[in-house]
Amino acid sequence: MPPPAIIAALSMCLATGFFAGTTLLAKALGGGASGAPLHALQISHARFLFGFLAVLIVVSLLPRRTVDAGAPVSSPPQWGLHLARTLLGWVGGALLFAAAAQMPLTDANALSFLSPVATMLFAIPFLGERVGPWRWSAAALALVGALVLLRPGAGVIQPAAFLALGAALAMGVEGIFIKKLTNREPPRQILLVNNCMGAVIASLAVIPFFQMPGGMGQWVALAGVGVLMVSGQVLLLLAMARVDASYVAPFFYLVLVWAALFDIVFFDVWPDWVSVTGGAIVVSGGLIMAWREGRARGVPPTP
């Protein structure tokens, strides 16, 4: 039997591929590569609707001890926290899908990785966390990477870049509510409530923008957005149940590798030096922040 660290690493490699796959499908659906372009809110609706159905299947098949390993015991859902978290996740996902449809997947995903910076900033007033010079430096470095990706002065700043920044902000604030929830409720309960609530919100929001998908290909792609997202979430939970969070965190940035690969293979879009440089700077800031987080929690950094 492979050691837990190997299983966790393989789980994260696959999970990040699934996460990048959702933006690939969003680009195909929103950009017209799979038929008539669909609105970002319709893609976000599919993410939650099919995601909820996938969660129902997963939680019924996986043993409770596998999903909820080391988690708090079941307690009544904190409805206010769930609603805030779900609204922010829905907004962040819709903005990211809209950005992915209009710009290279590598840039959209790299800008979305500013969400830990937003989480850090909002954790100061809302969670009372203290931020030292290392984390401030890491946040500043990540922001420099974002500025590079925006290409100031080059005359090619895309409005979609600001959609990706908005997604990062929404998902960063969502991280505050996720931290609160994970300290009070088990993952199984959080997954069910979040995806059920998200399916209701997204179903109401999509009504003015809904259009019938053009054929089986678009239906499969829409279902794939939800299934891939939930599959990635489950693999993430399985990885974190086996190893420390500081070991798992750096693997998130494999999403950029997958995104670049998908752009090349499916859209013949190669990342230019600006994308590579900006993405590398953002990743460097994120890795420093993850390393410092591990040190702050008394967990030694893992190579």
DSSP 14-33: HHHHHHHHHHHHHHHHHHTT
Structure tokens at 209: 């923008």
Q: What is residue 239's predicted lDDT score, i.e. its pLDDT?
A: 80
Q: What is residue 26's predicted lDDT score, i.e. its pLDDT?
A: 95
**Cα(84)–Cα(155) distance, integer angstroms:** 37
**Cα(293)–Cα(32) distance, integer angstroms:** 41
**Cα(171)–Cα(165) distance, integer angstroms:** 10
**Cα(240)–Cα(12) distance, integer angstroms:** 9
Q: What is residue 300's predicted lDDT score, i.e. its pLDDT?
A: 37
Q: What is residue 294's predicted lDDT score, i.e. its pLDDT?
A: 61
CA angle in degrees (0–180, nearest 5) for 28-29-33: 45
Judge whether 17 and 228 are in contact, CB under 8 Å. no
Judge whether 178 and 85 are in contact, CB under 8 Å. yes
- No. of H helices and E strands in the chain? 13, 0
Judge whether 88 and 173 are in contact, CB under 8 Å. yes
**Cα(164)–Cα(94) distance, integer angstroms:** 10
Judge whether 34 and 217 are in contact, CB under 8 Å. yes
Rounded to an integer, what is the distance from CA 16 to the centroid of its chain? 9
Q: What is the C-alpha radius of gyration for the chain, rounded to an integer number of angstroms? A: 19
Between the alpha carbon of residue 284 and those of residues 23, 130, 162, the distances in Å are: 22, 21, 21
The 3-state secondary structure of 185-254 reads CCHHHHHHHHHHHHHHHHHHHCHHHCCCCCCHHHHHHHHHHHHHHHHHHHHHHHHHCCCCHHHHHHHHHH
Judge whether 7 and 243 are in contact, CB under 8 Å. no
**Cα(219)–Cα(205) distance, integer angstroms:** 19
Q: Is 212 helix (H, G, I), strand (E, B) or coil?
A: coil
Judge whether 202 and 44 are in contact, CB under 8 Å. yes
In the block, tokens 């590579």 appear at: 276
pLDDT tens for each residue of the chain, 303 residues long = 567 778 888 888 899 999 999 999 999 999 888 789 999 999 999 999 999 999 998 878 766 665 555 555 667 889 999 999 999 999 999 999 999 999 889 899 888 888 888 888 888 887 777 778 877 888 888 888 888 887 765 555 678 889 999 999 999 899 888 888 877 888 888 889 999 999 999 999 999 999 999 889 999 999 999 999 999 888 887 787 777 666 777 788 888 889 999 999 998 988 888 888 988 888 888 888 777 666 655 443 333
Q: From 287, 252, 279, select the one nearest 151 (Cα to Cα).
A: 279
For 259-283, letters b (16+ CB in 10 Å) and e give bbebbeeeeebebeeebbebbebbb
**Cα(27)–Cα(38) distance, integer angstroms:** 10
**Cα(256)–Cα(276) distance, integer angstroms:** 10
Residue 178 burial (CB count, 10 A): 18
What angle, 0 to 180 degrees and rounded to 10, lies between the N-to-C axes of helices 4-31 and 40-61? 150
